[in-house]
């Protein structure tokens, strides 16, 4: 099945930002692990991907998505 776009949670609702428990990663740590989450999501959909390629291509994908979808891309 083909999709025009695929959106998934970036982690902000999976973790409690500002949690006093201290076990949740900081927003910066969540942001830094974007490539790993994208690779895991694609692997979960049956796509074999190279993590280093995801690291290299993700910033451009995010930029293009932001340009095309504007405020809908966060």
How high is the pLDDT of residue 73?
Answer: 64
* 68: in domain: yes
How high is the pLDDT of residue 69?
Answer: 83
Q: What percent of the chain has pLDDT over 90?
A: 22
Q: How confident is the model at residue 36 (pLDDT cuts 50, 70, 90)?
A: very high
Q: Average of pLDDT values for 18-37? A: 77
Q: What is the pLDDT of residues 44-66, one digit of tens each?
A: 889 999 999 999 999 998 898 88
* 46: in domain: yes
Task: Show the domain range for 43.
Answer: 27-72
DSSP 70: G
With tokens 């694609």, the residue in question is: 42
Contact 57, 64 (CB under 8 A): no
* 44: in domain: yes
């Amino acid at each position: 099945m083909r999709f025009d776009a695929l959106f998934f949670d970036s982690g902000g609702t999976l973790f409690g930002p500002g949690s006093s428990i201290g076990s949740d990663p900081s927003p910066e740590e969540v942001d830094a692990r974007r490539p790993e989450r994208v690779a895991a999501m694609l692997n979960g959909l049956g796509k074999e991907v190279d993590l280093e390629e995801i690291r290299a291509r993700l910033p451009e994908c995010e930029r293009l998505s932001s340009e095309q979808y504007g405020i809908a891309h966060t």
